[in-house]
Amino acid sequence: MTTPAPDARRYHALPSPFAMKRGGQLHGARVAYETWGQLDAVRGNAVLILTGLSPSAHAASNAQDPSPGWWEEMLGPGKAIDTDRWFVICVNSLGSDKGSTCPASIDPATGEPYRLAFPELALEDVANAAFELVRHGLGIDRLACLIGCSMGGMSALAYMVLHPDSVRAHISVDTAPQAQPFAIAIRSLQREAIRLDPQWNGGDYDIHLVSDRGGDSDRYPEMGMSIARKLGVITYRSAMEWNGRFARIRLDPEKREDEPFGFEFQVESYLQGHAQRFVRSFDPNCYLYLSRASDWFDIGEYGGGDIMEGLKRIRIARALVIGVSTDILFPLEQQEQIATGLSAAGAEVEFVALDSPQGHDAFLVDIPNYSRAIGGFLARL
Amino acid sequence: MTTPAPDARRYHALPSPFAMKRGGQLHGARVAYETWGQLDAVRGNAVLILTGLSPSAHAASNAQDPSPGWWEEMLGPGKAIDTDRWFVICVNSLGSDKGSTCPASIDPATGEPYRLAFPELALEDVANAAFELVRHGLGIDRLACLIGCSMGGMSALAYMVLHPDSVRAHISVDTAPQAQPFAIAIRSLQREAIRLDPQWNGGDYDIHLVSDRGGDSDRYPEMGMSIARKLGVITYRSAMEWNGRFARIRLDPEKREDEPFGFEFQVESYLQGHAQRFVRSFDPNCYLYLSRASDWFDIGEYGGGDIMEGLKRIRIARALVIGVSTDILFPLEQQEQIATGLSAAGAEVEFVALDSPQGHDAFLVDIPNYSRAIGGFLARL
């Protein structure tokens, strides 16, 4: 017998059927989530975090799961998102394989995994599933603050435009009001690397080995997932950071790959390490669905095709919009658009443009600057 | 019988053996080249163009081959590189499959293609092969001007540092004094896409179908080459250009791919078009060799590890250094380094920083601005 891994996840059953934006519906679906801190008597201190494409609901350690979370340094007692004051919820996106219903889940209609029979997924569905948890699972009418990072920032815009009066304040982190063609191109190529991998096999690979994490089945698109992840990491960081961090440093000869055109520079080994940690820990079909959902998102849909008009339909009291000048995937101009649009809608908006060298991922790395901005904003609420 | 395609290439036999920088040697090797204009009596009006990774020696149309060249609008009678005044030479890089000896060539020792038995290739070898053509093939002691674009700009720095007094003036276009880690990461991932393609097969695919261009053999790493090319195009252009050019425009429904996660946005179709034109028109092993050579290049090697010291060993009279602010592969700071270093070495340097939206490829697209800079510089020589 093995001891189960610590797990702080709880689950909320979505209404069944749960209608999806682009058609189709889910039966018996659920979302996984974790919480930190205590909900106050008037249910007025709730903060919801919507994540990027790959993170789980485990944003930080807690009693049930002491392992560090993906935003460990940002979230906890006395930290920027202070769990002594706030009741913090992090939800695993619908369509992600970290506990929520997703293409790797069993389709109750067939008893087999959905795979590509999963209905088309939009970030609006991710937002609606999170809203169901907050409103009906936790009985919270209005979030004190909705925080969205990267893809989660787009989900957060969807949440606010679809559910008026459900959010008092908003923190938008390194995100965009719509996918621009450069980001679409990157994600399209990531998807193509997976789709072209013969082991993807139209979505029919060994799913159970994915969730077991230790699997080494050949029936898994390892090549495609590795290329997709490396391309992701390249666009999540910045050339400036790498000039200082890696320069042209070579690997020690014994660490080089002994094959033609094998890795020779440290930056190549760094990417390989990232890919090895990701591959077989994320379901390829889920990756494809969430990636495509990111391309589709456009707040302009809610404004007759105009981003500003779409943003102006969002009614909140206050917002903090953060972006970083070295982000090539969600460039700073896109955060400026969000700040401008929310301000035009009547919100009191703070716009923070950082020069962190870490690119899009700065929110995960440059904790001092992000803590100062986010902690300061939350403290003033 | 079919009429042979127009072909303006001529060939220069390299000394045999031809020693390679990193060890090994070539026997019976050659470089292909084309020329425009007339060499004057004192052999003083020669301009040599060293190319980026993929172009051939066919920079422009000429009597023998009226098809448009890759720099057609820049080169010709009355154009910026005025062939009424200059004798212009464009050489196909050693290691490229457009006529020069390369990994797809027959190894005289075995009678079979070199494939991975080709010795390691450095841009210094590309430079030395071009120098052999100029000095011994064409009898030119000193180039009036050496022009290097992209990878060819690095080859040009090698040419000048290895062959003192062989160049009077230099035009450096969208290039770098050394490969930085972001560019290495991109190229490493391009190579990996090819290497991981099962049809690459350790370099043993159907070469003859590559050179025939019309081949559709399954024994060719089409997937890897397509991914590599698309990643290339993404980094050769700029997000700014695509915002204006593609925005979020969808493909007409009948042009969409009828398969899961198939192309839906115009930018995806644009990348696919680029890939289709490239795949099977460039030899994968040659791509790998030239890509790795680009990573290896570092002018700092000639200055005790210091870029500036390396550049200061280049003795020329004048230089024009051009870069573009939207280039993410060879950022403008790297052209500033070249300008600063050549100036410190005593050259009279003009530095032109353009804001063309087309990114690294601007030199192929923003002909008005590049013509003005290059034509003006050449006219003043």
Contacts of B178 in chain A (CB under 8 A): 248
Q: Which helix or strand (DSSP H or E) is residue B11 part of?
A: strand B10-13
pLDDT at position B3, please? 73
State which amino acid sits at residue A91.
Answer: V
Binding residues of A for substrate: 229, 361
Q: Are A181 and B245 in contact (CB < 8 Å)?
A: yes
Q: Which of B24, B37, B35, B33 minimizes the C-alpha distance to B56?
A: B33
Q: Are A185 and B242 in contact (CB < 8 Å)?
A: yes
Q: Mutate which of B178, B182, B301 to test chain A, going by most A C-beta atoms within 10 A?
A: B182
Cβ proximity of A53 and A28 under 8 Å: no
pLDDT at position A36, please? 98
| Closest CB from B227, B268, B298 relative to A227 | B227
Q: Domains of chain A: which residue ranges?
A: 10-179+299-380, 183-287
What lies within 8 Å, CB to CB, of B308 at 6+ separation is: B337, B340, B341, B344
Q: What is the topology classification, in CATH, of domain A10-179+299-380? A: Rossmann fold (3.40.50)
- Residues of A belonging to the active site: 150, 327, 360
Alpha carbons B68 and B59: distance in angstroms, whole number? 8
Cβ proximity of A152 and A52 under 8 Å: yes
Q: Are B193 and A198 in contact (CB < 8 Å)?
A: no
Q: In angstroms, what separates the C-alpha of A265 from chain B's closest C-alpha? A: 8
Q: Which residues of chain B have pLDDT under 50?
A: 211
Express as a percent the part of chain B with pLDDT over 70: 97
Q: Is B13 on the interface with A (CB under 8 A)?
A: no
According to DSSP, residue B178 is labeled B
CA atoms in the 13 A half-sphere facing the CB of B373? 24
| Closest CB from B195, B248, B264 relative to A178 | B248
Q: Which of A93, A124, A130, A106 minimizes the C-alpha distance to A14?
A: A130
In CATH, what class is B183-288? mainly alpha
Token pair for residue B218? 């399954």
Sign of CA dihedral B126, B131, B137, B138: positive
C-alpha distances out from residue A121 to A19, A186, B134, Å: 11, 19, 60
pLDDT at position B256, please? 85
Q: In angstroms, what separates the C-alpha of A230 from chain B's closest C-alpha? A: 7
Q: Is B328 on the interface with A (CB under 8 A)?
A: yes
Q: Mutate which of B180, B241, B325 to test chain A, going by most A C-beta atoms within 10 A?
A: B180
Q: In angstroms, what separates the C-alpha of A166 from chain B's closest C-alpha? A: 29
Contacts of A188 in chain B (CB under 8 A): 263, 265, 267-268, 271
Q: Is A178 on the interface with B (CB under 8 A)?
A: yes
**If you average pLDDT over residues A161-175, what whole number do you get?**
98
pLDDT at position B207, please? 87
pLDDT in tens, A84-114: 999 999 999 999 999 999 999 999 999 999 9
What lies within 8 Å, CB to CB, of B19 at 6+ separation is: B25
Q: Are A234 and B189 in contact (CB < 8 Å)?
A: yes
Q: Is B196 on the interface with A (CB under 8 A)?
A: yes
Q: Work out the angle between the directed axes of helices A222-236 and A284-296 (0-180°, nearest 10).
A: 40
| Closest CB from A192, A263, A328 relative to B227 | A192
* Region label for B314, one of left (φ > 0), alpha (ψ between -120 and 50) or beta (otherwise): beta
Sign of CA dihedral A194, A197, A198, A199: negative
Alpha carbons A42 and A141: distance in angstroms, whole number? 10
Contacts of B203 in chain A (CB under 8 A): 260
Residue with the larger pLDDT of the pair A4 and A183: A183
Binding residues of B for substrate: 229, 361
| Closest CB from B192, B203, B239 relative to A180 | B239
Q: Are B243 and A180 in contact (CB < 8 Å)?
A: yes
Alpha carbons A328 and A237: distance in angstroms, whole number? 8
pLDDT in tens, A233-243: 999 999 999 99
Q: Is B286 on the interface with A (CB under 8 A)?
A: no
Contacts of B261 in chain A (CB under 8 A): 191, 195, 288, 292
Contacts of B264 in chain A (CB under 8 A): 295
Q: Are B331 and A188 in contact (CB < 8 Å)?
A: no
The burial class, CB within 10 Å (0-12 / 13-18 / 19+), for A309 is middle
Q: In angstroms, what separates the C-alpha of B227 from chain A's closest C-alpha? A: 7
Q: Are A189 and B295 in contact (CB < 8 Å)?
A: no
Q: Is A244 on the interface with B (CB under 8 A)?
A: no
What lies within 8 Å, CB to CB, of A376 at 6+ separation is: none
pLDDT at position A345, please? 97
With b for 16 or more beta-carbon neighbours within 10 A and e for fewer, the B47-72 pattern comes to bbbbbbbbbbbbbbbbeebeeebbbb
Q: Is B185 on the interface with A (CB under 8 A)?
A: yes
Q: Is A176 on the interface with B (CB under 8 A)?
A: no
Q: In angstroms, what separates the C-alpha of B222 from chain A's closest C-alpha? A: 10
What lies within 8 Å, CB to CB, of A358 at 6+ separation is: A237, A238, A241, A324, A326, A364, A365, A366
pLDDT in tens, B127-174: 999 999 999 999 999 999 999 999 999 999 999 999 999 999 999 999
Q: Are A231 and B231 in contact (CB < 8 Å)?
A: yes
- Chain B residues 105-134 with CB within 8 Å of chain A: 116
User: Would you say the CATH fold of A183-287 matches that of A10-179+299-380?
Assistant: no
From the CB of residue B350, how many other CB atoms can be counted at a distance below 10 Å? 17
Q: Are A267 and B181 in contact (CB < 8 Å)?
A: yes
Q: Work out the angle between the directed axes of helices B266-278 and A181-196 (0-180°, nearest 10).
A: 60
Q: Work out the angle between the directed axes of helices B123-132 and B151-162 (0-180°, nearest 10).
A: 60
**Predicted complex ipTM exceeds 0.90:** yes
Q: Are B268 and A184 in contact (CB < 8 Å)?
A: yes
What lies within 8 Å, CB to CB, of B170 at 6+ separation is: B145, B146, B147, B148, B156, B160, B314, B316, B318, B319, B320, B342, B347
Q: Are A184 and B292 in contact (CB < 8 Å)?
A: no
Q: In angstroms, what separates the C-alpha of A343 from chain B's closest C-alpha? A: 24
pLDDT at position B257, please? 79
Binding residues of A: 229, 361
Q: Is A196 on the interface with B (CB under 8 A)?
A: yes
* Helices H / strands E in chain B, number of each: 12, 14
C-alpha distances out from residue A214 to A97, A253, A282, Å: 16, 29, 12
Token pair for residue A83? 């769990």
From the CB of residue A28, how many other CB atoms can be counted at a distance below 10 Å? 15
Contacts of B331 in chain A (CB under 8 A): 239
Q: Are B242 and A181 in contact (CB < 8 Å)?
A: yes
pLDDT in tens, B318-370: 999 999 999 999 999 999 999 999 999 999 999 999 999 999 999 999 999 99
CATH classification of B10-179+298-379, choosing from 3.40.50.1820, 3.90.1580.10, 3.60.90.10, 3.30.70.270?
3.40.50.1820
Alpha carbons A169 and A155: distance in angstroms, whole number? 15
Q: Mutate which of A197, A222, A248 to test chain B, going by most B C-beta atoms within 10 A?
A: A248
pLDDT at position B208, please? 65
Q: Which helix or strand (DSSP H or E) is residue B189 part of?
A: helix B181-196
- Give DSSP secondary structure letters for B132-172: HIIIIIS--SSEEEEEEETHHHHHHHHHHHHSTTSEEEEEE
From the CB of residue B308, how many other CB atoms can be counted at a distance below 10 Å? 15
With b for 16 or more beta-carbon neighbours within 10 A and e for fewer, the B227-247 pattern comes to bbbbbbbbbbbbbbbbbeebe
The β-bridge relationship of strands B46-50 and B87-91 is parallel
pLDDT at position B248, please? 97
Q: Is A156 on the interface with B (CB under 8 A)?
A: no
Q: What is the topology classification, in CATH, of domain A183-287? A: Rna Polymerase Sigma Factor; Chain: A (1.10.1740)
Residues in chain A: 381
Q: Are A181 and B261 in contact (CB < 8 Å)?
A: no
Contacts of B263 in chain A (CB under 8 A): 188
Q: Are A191 and B247 in contact (CB < 8 Å)?
A: no
Q: Which of A87, A115, A92, A323 minimizes the C-alpha distance to A202?
A: A115
Q: Mutate which of A154, A190, A191, A192 to test chain B, going by most B C-beta atoms within 10 A?
A: A192
Active site residue B327: yes
- Give DSSP secondary structure letters for A11-63: EEEPPSSEE-TTS-EESS-EEEEEEES---TTS--EEEEE--SS--S--S--S
Q: Is A360 on the interface with B (CB under 8 A)?
A: no
Whether residue A300 is predicted with pLDDT greater than 80 in this model: the reply is yes
Q: In angstroms, what separates the C-alpha of B285 from chain A's closest C-alpha? A: 10
Alpha carbons B306 and B123: distance in angstroms, whole number? 18
- Model confidence at A3, pLDDT cuts 50, 70, 90, reads confident
Active site residue B54: no
Cβ proximity of A108 and A291 under 8 Å: no
**If you average pLDDT over residues A313-338, what whole number do you get?**
97
- Model confidence at A215, pLDDT cuts 50, 70, 90, reads low
